Amino acid sequence: MQKRYNVGVIGATGMVGQRFCSLLANHPWFNVTALAASSRSAGKSYGELMEKRWQLAVPFPENLAELRLFDAEKDKEKLVPLVDFVFCAVDMPKAEIRALEDSYAKLNCPVVSNNSAHRGTPDVPMIVTELNADHAAVIPFQRKRLGTRRGFVAVKSNCSIQNYVPALFPLPDVQDVLVCTYQAISGAGKNFTTWPEMIDNLIPYIGGEEEKSEQEPHKIYGTVKDGVIQNADSPNFTAQCIRVPVSDGHFSAVFVRFAPGKKPTKEFILNAWENYRGPCDSLHLPSAPEKFLRYYPEDNMPQTKLCRDLDKGMAVHIGRLREDSQYDYRFVCLSHNTLLGAAGGAVLMAEQLCAQGYMD
């Protein structure tokens, strides 16, 4: 019989935290037993706090309404005994996030994080379960550094890379990638009520996003060696990231060049996407999509509104593969930024880590 785990959500009042709560409220493996946020929210019930702040189109999870929020920093000794591990998505300075996450890990409470603070830490795995689940093998080395029996930190990558890297990952010999991303406003923790300036507008700058979109893929493509993730040094990525007036769903236009003499046929690429199986497919994890990579032959697909929520918002939608006059091929990709790209992907990673025994 499947073991059930008690879990906490740190940052439960935020955009990603709300997604966590809606995904976890009726999860088959996880019971939400603790919620935390800043001192501003501490002591209040989740129902009271979210009465005017619930931002998702899905209903508020009423079974969490009575839980009283902890102060994530001051109350950790009270929170940790209530949970087997925590999810974390907070808006704080990076050094403070690293300190917060390490402090939970050192209390022997594993942390599954959506924050970027630890993405560059060499023994912290940055996992997209459908791609590099094997990076969890670095966890015992991190535990040794932290001096913990079971505590560790594992992180998600930035949401922007989770629409184009999955499409590139099954293709061998990729050398150069140029990508333009068109990113939804929920990626900034906003909707059209809280950010009316985005209606009928776009903003050609998202702080730090282009660097993350170019650098983070190298960790996903990396390998576990000598107790750390050794980043790959290819493919080369160059990115422009643009905020667009879309509620949810990050889109990208991708141009790809292969190593000299290694350009595959269009049929090879379509077959690689069609037949791609994630490394954890045989574990039948509850949040895994039925089909991770979905190619649409129609010229006007994939479309954000039509596709982002399909397959629990955990699939990657690809279209318009064609030859390019400067690169070898070009195509477009789409995925849900707060489901696959954030909370959904973190819940899937936690399921993977439970199935592999890292949460026991």
Active site (catalytic) residues: 159, 250
Rule CB under 6 A: say whether 127 interacts with ligand NAP.
no
* Count of other CB atoms within 10 angstroms of residue 290: 10
Rule CB under 6 A: say whether 249 interacts with ligand NAP.
no
Out of 4, 40, 74, 305, point to the residue binding ligand NAP (CB under 6 A).
Answer: 40
Rule CB under 6 A: say whether 287 interacts with ligand NAP.
no
CA distance 279 to 293: 14
Distances (CA, A) of 222 to 151, 228, 350: 23, 10, 20
Rule CB under 6 A: say whether 163 interacts with ligand NAP.
no
Q: Which stretch binds ligand NAP (CB under 6 A): 77-85, 114-122, 232-240, 318-326?
A: 114-122
Touching ligand NAP, residues 184-213 (CB under 6 A): 186-187, 189
Rule CB under 6 A: say whether 56 interacts with ligand NAP.
no
Rule CB under 6 A: say whether 157 interacts with ligand NAP.
no
Touching ligand NAP, residues 81-110 (CB under 6 A): 89-92
Rule CB under 6 A: say whether 321 interacts with ligand NAP.
no
Give strand pairing partners of 36: 10, 70
| Closest listed residue to residue 147, CA positions, set 110, 108, 182, 116 | 108
Rule CB under 6 A: say whether 32 interacts with ligand NAP.
no
CA distance 127 to 119: 10
Dihedral of alpha carbons 307, 311, 315, 321, sign = negative
Tokens linked to 162: 């989770």
Shortest separation between residue 152's beta carbon and ligand NAP, angstroms: 19
CA distance 130 to 111: 20
- The residues of the shown chain that bind ligand NAP, judged by CB under 6 A, are 11, 13-17, 37-38, 40-41, 72-73, 89-92, 114-116, 159, 186-187, 189, 337-338, 341-342
